[in-house]
Structure 1
Protein backbone atom coordinates (compact mmCIF):
# COMPACT_ATOMS: atom_id res chain seq x y z
CA UNK A 1 0.00 0.00 0.00
CA UNK A 2 2.80 2.40 0.87
CA UNK A 3 4.57 1.50 -2.35
CA UNK A 4 1.44 2.35 -4.32
CA UNK A 5 1.06 5.71 -2.55
CA UNK A 6 4.73 6.45 -3.10
CA UNK A 7 4.48 5.69 -6.81
CA UNK A 8 1.31 7.75 -7.14
CA UNK A 9 2.84 10.73 -5.35
CA UNK A 10 5.97 10.65 -7.50
CA UNK A 11 3.91 10.55 -10.69
CA UNK A 12 1.75 13.44 -9.52
CA UNK A 13 4.86 15.42 -8.60
CA UNK A 14 6.43 14.70 -11.99
CA UNK A 15 3.28 15.80 -13.80
CA UNK A 16 2.97 19.03 -11.79
CA UNK A 17 6.66 19.78 -12.13
CA UNK A 18 6.60 19.29 -15.87
CA UNK A 19 3.33 20.92 -16.96
CA UNK A 20 2.27 23.59 -14.47
CA UNK A 21 3.19 27.13 -15.59
CA UNK A 22 4.57 28.41 -12.30
CA UNK A 23 6.78 25.35 -11.88
CA UNK A 24 8.11 25.79 -15.41
CA UNK A 25 8.83 29.47 -14.69
CA UNK A 26 10.53 28.67 -11.39
CA UNK A 27 12.71 26.03 -13.03
CA UNK A 28 13.73 28.57 -15.68
CA UNK A 29 14.49 31.19 -13.02
CA UNK A 30 16.71 28.78 -11.07
CA UNK A 31 19.13 28.48 -14.02
CA UNK A 32 22.17 30.76 -14.15
CA UNK A 33 20.74 32.80 -17.02
CA UNK A 34 17.34 33.10 -15.34
CA UNK A 35 18.44 34.31 -11.91
CA UNK A 36 18.10 37.93 -13.00
CA UNK A 37 14.36 37.38 -13.56
CA UNK A 38 13.59 36.47 -9.94
CA UNK A 39 12.60 39.95 -8.80
CA UNK A 40 10.39 40.69 -11.86
CA UNK A 41 8.76 37.27 -11.36
CA UNK A 42 7.57 38.45 -7.97
CA UNK A 43 5.22 40.78 -9.84
CA UNK A 44 3.39 37.72 -11.17
CA UNK A 45 2.21 37.03 -7.63
CA UNK A 46 -0.23 39.95 -7.85
CA UNK A 47 -2.55 38.38 -10.45
CA UNK A 48 -2.59 35.15 -8.46
CA UNK A 49 -3.55 37.03 -5.30
CA UNK A 50 -6.26 38.90 -7.20
CA UNK A 51 -7.61 35.61 -8.53
CA UNK A 52 -7.62 34.14 -5.02
CA UNK A 53 -9.54 37.17 -3.77
CA UNK A 54 -12.02 36.81 -6.61
CA UNK A 55 -12.55 33.12 -5.86
CA UNK A 56 -13.03 33.92 -2.18
CA UNK A 57 -15.70 36.50 -3.00
CA UNK A 58 -17.45 33.97 -5.26
CA UNK A 59 -17.41 31.44 -2.42
CA UNK A 60 -18.82 33.98 0.03
CA UNK A 61 -21.68 34.74 -2.35
CA UNK A 62 -22.78 31.12 -2.58
CA UNK A 63 -20.36 29.70 -5.15
CA UNK A 64 -19.48 26.01 -5.27
CA UNK A 65 -17.13 24.54 -2.69
CA UNK A 66 -14.53 23.39 -5.22
CA UNK A 67 -13.52 27.03 -5.66
CA UNK A 68 -11.69 26.64 -2.35
CA UNK A 69 -9.16 24.47 -4.20
CA UNK A 70 -8.62 27.12 -6.85
CA UNK A 71 -8.20 29.82 -4.21
CA UNK A 72 -5.70 27.65 -2.37
CA UNK A 73 -3.82 26.93 -5.61
CA UNK A 74 -3.64 30.64 -6.41
CA UNK A 75 -2.33 31.44 -2.93
CA UNK A 76 0.27 28.66 -3.19
CA UNK A 77 1.49 29.90 -6.57
CA UNK A 78 1.67 33.48 -5.28
CA UNK A 79 3.77 32.35 -2.32
CA UNK A 80 6.13 30.45 -4.61
CA UNK A 81 6.61 33.51 -6.79
CA UNK A 82 7.13 35.80 -3.80
CA UNK A 83 9.79 33.52 -2.33
CA UNK A 84 11.73 33.11 -5.58
CA UNK A 85 12.62 36.83 -5.68
CA UNK A 86 14.90 37.00 -2.64
CA UNK A 87 16.07 33.43 -3.24
CA UNK A 88 17.16 34.25 -6.79
CA UNK A 89 19.06 37.31 -5.55
CA UNK A 90 20.92 35.15 -3.03
CA UNK A 91 21.67 32.53 -5.70
CA UNK A 92 22.82 35.23 -8.12
CA UNK A 93 25.20 36.70 -5.54
CA UNK A 94 26.58 33.24 -4.85
CA UNK A 95 27.02 32.50 -8.57
CA UNK A 96 28.77 35.82 -9.25
CA UNK A 97 31.10 35.27 -6.29
CA UNK A 98 31.90 31.75 -7.50
CA UNK A 99 32.60 33.01 -11.03
CA UNK A 100 34.87 35.76 -9.69
CA UNK A 101 36.78 33.19 -7.63
CA UNK A 102 37.21 30.98 -10.69
CA UNK A 103 38.47 33.93 -12.76
CA UNK A 104 41.04 34.81 -10.08
CA UNK A 105 42.18 31.19 -9.89
CA UNK A 106 42.60 30.94 -13.67
CA UNK A 107 44.43 34.27 -13.75
CA UNK A 108 46.84 33.13 -11.00
CA UNK A 109 47.52 29.87 -12.81
CA UNK A 110 48.21 31.63 -16.09
CA UNK A 111 50.49 34.15 -14.35
CA UNK A 112 52.35 31.31 -12.65
CA UNK A 113 52.81 29.51 -15.96
CA UNK A 114 53.96 32.70 -17.68
CA UNK A 115 56.51 33.46 -14.97
CA UNK A 116 57.74 29.85 -15.10
CA UNK A 117 58.18 30.03 -18.87
CA UNK A 118 60.05 33.37 -18.57
CA UNK A 119 62.32 31.83 -15.95
CA UNK A 120 63.14 28.89 -18.21
CA UNK A 121 63.87 31.22 -21.14
CA UNK A 122 66.14 33.45 -19.08
CA UNK A 123 68.12 30.54 -17.60
Structure 2
Protein backbone atom coordinates (compact mmCIF):
# COMPACT_ATOMS: atom_id res chain seq x y z
CA UNK A 1 0.00 0.00 0.00
CA UNK A 2 2.82 2.42 0.92
CA UNK A 3 4.63 1.55 -2.30
CA UNK A 4 1.50 2.31 -4.34
CA UNK A 5 1.05 5.69 -2.64
CA UNK A 6 4.74 6.48 -3.11
CA UNK A 7 4.60 5.60 -6.80
CA UNK A 8 1.41 7.58 -7.33
CA UNK A 9 2.87 10.66 -5.65
CA UNK A 10 6.09 10.38 -7.67
CA UNK A 11 4.16 10.19 -10.94
CA UNK A 12 1.93 13.09 -9.91
CA UNK A 13 4.96 15.20 -9.04
CA UNK A 14 6.63 14.36 -12.34
CA UNK A 15 3.49 15.28 -14.29
CA UNK A 16 3.07 18.59 -12.46
CA UNK A 17 6.77 19.54 -12.82
CA UNK A 18 6.73 18.68 -16.48
CA UNK A 19 3.46 20.09 -17.80
CA UNK A 20 2.15 22.86 -15.53
CA UNK A 21 3.08 26.32 -16.89
CA UNK A 22 3.97 27.93 -13.56
CA UNK A 23 6.33 25.10 -12.66
CA UNK A 24 8.01 25.32 -16.04
CA UNK A 25 8.43 29.07 -15.64
CA UNK A 26 9.90 28.70 -12.17
CA UNK A 27 12.29 26.00 -13.41
CA UNK A 28 13.41 28.34 -16.18
CA UNK A 29 13.99 31.16 -13.69
CA UNK A 30 16.15 28.90 -11.50
CA UNK A 31 18.70 28.48 -14.33
CA UNK A 32 21.81 30.66 -13.99
CA UNK A 33 21.20 33.06 -16.92
CA UNK A 34 17.62 33.73 -15.79
CA UNK A 35 18.15 34.24 -12.06
CA UNK A 36 17.84 38.00 -12.51
CA UNK A 37 14.16 37.54 -13.43
CA UNK A 38 13.20 36.18 -10.00
CA UNK A 39 12.37 39.56 -8.45
CA UNK A 40 10.22 40.73 -11.41
CA UNK A 41 8.52 37.32 -11.41
CA UNK A 42 7.18 38.16 -7.97
CA UNK A 43 4.82 40.56 -9.75
CA UNK A 44 3.08 37.53 -11.26
CA UNK A 45 1.71 36.82 -7.80
CA UNK A 46 -0.56 39.87 -8.08
CA UNK A 47 -2.97 38.41 -10.68
CA UNK A 48 -3.21 35.18 -8.69
CA UNK A 49 -4.06 37.11 -5.54
CA UNK A 50 -6.64 39.08 -7.52
CA UNK A 51 -8.22 35.83 -8.72
CA UNK A 52 -8.27 34.52 -5.14
CA UNK A 53 -9.88 37.74 -3.91
CA UNK A 54 -12.58 37.70 -6.59
CA UNK A 55 -13.38 34.06 -5.91
CA UNK A 56 -13.47 34.62 -2.14
CA UNK A 57 -15.91 37.49 -2.59
CA UNK A 58 -18.02 35.34 -4.89
CA UNK A 59 -18.01 32.54 -2.30
CA UNK A 60 -19.16 34.97 0.34
CA UNK A 61 -22.07 35.92 -1.93
CA UNK A 62 -23.17 32.32 -2.34
CA UNK A 63 -21.16 31.00 -5.31
CA UNK A 64 -20.64 27.23 -5.77
CA UNK A 65 -18.30 25.50 -3.37
CA UNK A 66 -15.89 24.31 -6.06
CA UNK A 67 -14.50 27.86 -6.17
CA UNK A 68 -12.63 26.96 -2.98
CA UNK A 69 -10.33 24.89 -5.22
CA UNK A 70 -9.72 27.91 -7.45
CA UNK A 71 -8.86 29.99 -4.38
CA UNK A 72 -6.47 27.29 -3.18
CA UNK A 73 -4.84 27.06 -6.62
CA UNK A 74 -4.45 30.84 -6.92
CA UNK A 75 -3.00 31.27 -3.43
CA UNK A 76 -0.59 28.37 -3.98
CA UNK A 77 0.71 29.87 -7.23
CA UNK A 78 0.96 33.32 -5.63
CA UNK A 79 3.08 31.83 -2.83
CA UNK A 80 5.32 30.07 -5.35
CA UNK A 81 6.02 33.30 -7.23
CA UNK A 82 6.40 35.34 -4.05
CA UNK A 83 9.03 32.98 -2.64
CA UNK A 84 10.84 32.78 -5.99
CA UNK A 85 12.07 36.36 -5.64
CA UNK A 86 14.19 35.88 -2.51
CA UNK A 87 15.24 32.38 -3.56
CA UNK A 88 16.50 33.60 -6.93
CA UNK A 89 18.31 36.48 -5.23
CA UNK A 90 20.09 34.07 -2.90
CA UNK A 91 20.95 31.75 -5.80
CA UNK A 92 22.24 34.71 -7.84
CA UNK A 93 24.45 35.95 -5.01
CA UNK A 94 25.77 32.43 -4.46
CA UNK A 95 26.52 32.00 -8.18
CA UNK A 96 28.26 35.39 -8.41
CA UNK A 97 30.40 34.60 -5.36
CA UNK A 98 31.37 31.26 -6.89
CA UNK A 99 32.23 32.99 -10.17
CA UNK A 100 34.26 35.67 -8.35
CA UNK A 101 36.20 33.03 -6.43
CA UNK A 102 36.96 31.15 -9.62
CA UNK A 103 37.90 34.28 -11.59
CA UNK A 104 40.97 35.65 -9.72
CA UNK A 105 42.97 32.44 -10.18
CA UNK A 106 42.53 32.72 -13.92
CA UNK A 107 43.20 36.46 -13.91
CA UNK A 108 46.46 36.10 -11.94
CA UNK A 109 47.82 33.59 -14.44
CA UNK A 110 46.85 35.90 -17.29
CA UNK A 111 48.37 38.97 -15.57
CA UNK A 112 51.62 37.17 -14.81
CA UNK A 113 52.01 36.07 -18.39
CA UNK A 114 51.04 39.49 -19.65
CA UNK A 115 53.58 41.28 -17.45
CA UNK A 116 56.35 38.88 -18.51
CA UNK A 117 55.58 39.46 -22.17
CA UNK A 118 55.46 43.22 -21.63
CA UNK A 119 58.81 43.19 -19.80
CA UNK A 120 60.40 41.12 -22.55
CA UNK A 121 59.09 43.47 -25.24
CA UNK A 122 60.47 46.66 -23.59
CA UNK A 123 64.13 46.17 -24.54
CA UNK A 124 63.07 45.57 -28.14
CA UNK A 125 61.30 48.93 -28.22
CA UNK A 126 64.39 50.87 -27.12
CA UNK A 127 66.76 49.50 -29.78
Tell me if TM exceeds 0.5. yes
Q: Quick one: distance in 1 between partners of 2:61 and 2:87? A: 38
Alignment match, 1:121: none
Question: Does 1:63 pair with 2:63?
Answer: yes
TM-score, with structure 2 as normaliser:
0.84
Alignment of 1:74-85 (within 5 A): 74-85=74-85
Query: TM-score, normalised on structure 1?
Result: 0.86
Structure 1's unaligned 5+ residue stretches are 119-123
Aligned residues: 117
Question: Which residue of structure 1 lines up, in the alignment, with residue 19 of structure 2?
Answer: 19
> CA offset at residue 62 of structure 1?
1.4
2: CA distance between counterparts of 1:75 and 1:111? 53
Q: How does 1:31-110 map to 2 (within 5 A)?
A: 31-110=31-110
If you compute each CA radius of gyration, which structure gives the higher value, 1 or 2? 2
Whole-angstrom CA distance in 2 between matches of 1:105 and 1:90:
24
Query: Where does structure 2 lack aligned partners over 5 or more consecutive residues?
Result: 118-127
